[in-house]
Amino acid sequence: MNHVNEDSPLRIGQTVPMFTARSTTGPFDLADYRGRWIMLFSHPADFTPVCTSEFVALAEAKEKFEALDCALVAVSIDSLYSHLAWIRMIYDMTGTKVDFPIVEDPTMEIARAYGMIGTNADDAGTVRSSYFIDPDGVLVASQTYPVTVGRSIPELLRLLSALQKVRDGDVFVPVDWQPGDPLLKIPAETAADIFAGEKSSDWFYSPVEDKR
């Protein structure tokens, strides 16, 4: 594994640590996903109510993530056999197959490398984090929730779409943006650009149509 500084959490703009591990889909190597978007997300434990609700919803939304060329990868400290038993129970309960990889992290090495938990933590009971990784392997956004609160799948998809819109560096995404809504121009940086606008605010606040 390529380690980051374990005294601080992984930060936006850093290249994420690569790792290999066992998963529910077979041997897993994060490096194999280079060139694609990835949402790497952790959960506190298998066989817990909030996590179960999330995994059902994420499995049902998998095609929406794939339409955005984003792979779903889950990780928790539970063993591979626990993961396998859990997803079978989920299938028996709901009819939903969780077929994205769920990685085991029994030593908490991955959780520590990503800054999900402190270096001296005894357990991962508070871990419910999501990491959005771009095709270059760079962290571009992250979220962390407490064990008692589940994530919002529509917000995860909205955030992913927004991150893809701004990747080329030519637009910003405004508040409450939804796919198809207007975007914002990058602010001007020269006097000529400032005086070229019709309004005094055009240089720093100018909505533009989303044409992509």
> Average pLDDT over the chain, rounded to whole?
91
pLDDT for residue 3: 44
Mean pLDDT computed over 142-151: 91
- What pLDDT shows up at residue 146? 87
Determine the pLDDT at residue 179. 95
4, 10, 16, 51: the catalytic one is 51
**Over the stretch 91-136, which tens digit does the pLDDT of each residue have?**
999 999 999 999 999 988 998 889 887 666 555 555 689 999 999 9
Main-chain dihedrals φ then ψ at residue 124, nearest 5 degrees? -110, 35
- 71 forms beta bridges with 38
As a whole number of angstroms, the distance between CA 28 and CA 43 comes to: 18
State how far Cα 207 lies from the chain centre: 27
Q: Is the dihedral of CA 94, 95, 100, 101 positive or negative?
A: positive
* Terminal C-alpha separation, the chain: 37
Q: Round the CA-based radius of gyration of the chain to a whole number and report it.
A: 20
Residues of the chain with pLDDT > 90: what percent? 76
Domains located in the chain, CATH noted: 20-151 (3.40.30.10), 168-212 (no CATH)
Question: The whole model's pTM is what?
Answer: 0.90
What are 180's two structure tokens?
Answer: 């198809």
H or E stretch at 128: none
- Averaged pLDDT for residues 184-204: 90
pLDDT given at position 194: 87
Cα separation, 7 vs 105, whole angstroms = 19
Nearest partner of 187 among 202, 204, 207, 209, judged by Cα: 204
Does pLDDT of 38 surpass 90? yes
Q: Which two tokens stand for residue 2?
A: 């390529």
Residue 70 designated active-site: no
Tell me what the mean pLDDT of segment 126-155 comes to: 92
Over the stretch 73-83, which tens digit does the pLDDT of each residue have?
A: 999 999 999 99
pLDDT tens, position by position, 155-193:
999 999 999 999 999 999 999 999 999 999 999 889 998
pLDDT score of 5 more than 50: no
d(CA 68, CA 82): 30
